[in-house]
Amino acid sequence: MAPIHLLSIFVAFLASASASCLSLPPRTENTLVLVHTLFRHGNRTIEDNIYPTNPYGNESFYAPYGYYQLTKEGRKTEFKIGAALRERYGSFLGSEYNINLIDARSTVANRTKMSMLLVLASLFPPTGELVWNEDLLWQPIPYNTFDNDKELYGRKVCSNYKKAYKKLIKTDAVLEQLEPYQEMFDYVSEHSGLEIQKAKKASDLYVELLTQKAYGYPLEDWFYTYEKEMLRITMLSYRLMAGTTKLKRLSTGYFLRKVIEDTETRIVNPHSPTKLYLYSAHEKNIANLLVTLDLFDDALPAFGSYIIIEVHLIDGVYGFKFFYQNYKEAEPVLLTIPGCADFCPVETFKGIVSDFLPEDSYCELASADASSDD
């Protein structure tokens, strides 16, 4: 079905949904004051040929998209996120977009920028005066990107992150964890033609191979010999990326600090028009946040997975509710932060994550390479 038809159907759905209960129970709807949403981009093509002898590695196999770009399926995935947010928060946001209602931000990668456009398209199809083309029920909605984005790209733009990570993976404790995988490292290195001796290298290869498989091209038999081990090493790699207090501060701390600061701004200014903060990012953003909050379940964050951080005012107390949609369930799953309840008061949460909230100068800026993320 063409996108224009999808938009038309969605507008019809919106008209009926506005009179329904939506997916939030009345108490939640009545106490909701702000929403932060971090989502992964949609399905994409592979980064490059992955390994030298890959029979499906040439870029021509991924026409008309090219390497590292959002696919048709990925576009559908992201469009569904916006529709899900519209269904969940329709009465909270209202049907009409205005410039002060949301703050949308993406990393600088093409796939995340395109993902943001798709989420915004289904979240806010034009209504009334905002309909500018009767044949295209879509409206342009701006979003922001930043070259030195510490909130979303701390791993990439902070040179001291890289130093701290390299220090961690050379420790005896980590080297001991990697010992059981040595046979797998040697086998995969031999068959892929790549030098695979570290968790991150194995993890990056694993994710790329799954991406190729999801696109529709088969994998060579050697992949399946150690498939389970490659999954386990990928989960270990995610944990290592936020494996120390310093790594948590640099990979996720700036994002957490912004969520808290924006929430406190809303508390001080209860009539602020901003109701939704949107962040289009990557698999590792999702994993790093879950690891930092001690919520990671050793499952690969799927294309289009997302974390919702709702801010509620309940019995005079402002607090957070965390939800995770990794498509194991139909609806986002309510998470409980260790040391807190399902509803976590802002001050309690600040205490829990206080060690992970960095100062501005904590990040030693380096240049980011957006092309080499998940």
Q: Both tokens of residue 94? A: 């209202």
pLDDT tens, per residue, the chain with 374 residues: 444 444 443 444 334 433 333 333 334 458 999 999 999 999 999 999 999 999 999 999 999 999 999 999 999 999 999 999 999 999 999 999 999 999 999 999 999 999 999 999 999 999 999 999 999 999 999 999 999 999 999 999 999 999 999 999 999 999 999 999 999 999 999 999 999 999 999 999 999 999 999 999 999 999 999 999 999 999 999 999 999 999 999 999 999 999 999 999 999 999 999 999 999 999 999 999 999 999 999 999 999 999 999 999 999 999 999 999 999 999 999 999 999 999 999 999 999 999 999 999 999 998 666 556 77
Give the side-chain half-sphere CA count within 13 A for 184: 23
Residue 68 phi, psi dihedral angles, 5° rounding: 65, 30
Residue 305 phi, psi dihedral angles, 5° rounding: -65, 155
- Give the dihedral of Cα atoms 149, 155, 161, 164; nearest 10 deg: 170
Which domains are seen in the chain, by residue range?
Answer: 32-158+245-356 (3.40.50.1240), 161-242 (no CATH)
The DSSP result for 289-333, as a single string, is HHHHTT---S-PPPTT-EEEEEEEEETTEEEEEEEEE-SSSSSPE
Q: In a 3-state reduction of DSSP, which class is residue 108?
A: coil
Q: Both tokens of residue 56? A: 């499906």
| Closest residue by Cα to residue 143 from 163, 118, 173, 161 | 118
First to last CA, the chain: 28
- Give the dihedral of Cα atoms 310, 146, 300, 82; nearest 10 deg: 50
Q: Decide: 239 and 291 in contact? Cβ < 8 Å.
A: yes
Cα 130 to Cα 54, 84, 85, 100, distances in angstroms? 49, 22, 20, 15
Which amino acid, 319? G
> What confidence score (pLDDT) does residue 30 get?
84
Q: Decide: 333 and 299 in contact? Cβ < 8 Å.
A: no
Whole-number CA gyration radius for the chain: 21
Q: In a 3-state reduction of DSSP, which class is residue 34?
A: strand
User: Nearest 5 degrees, angle CA 332-CA 243-CA 326?
Assistant: 15
Q: Are strands 317-325 and 276-281 parallel, antiparallel or unpaired?
A: unpaired
How far apart (Å, rounded) are the C-alpha atoms in residues 283 and 303?
8
Q: Decide: 355 and 245 in contact? Cβ < 8 Å.
A: yes
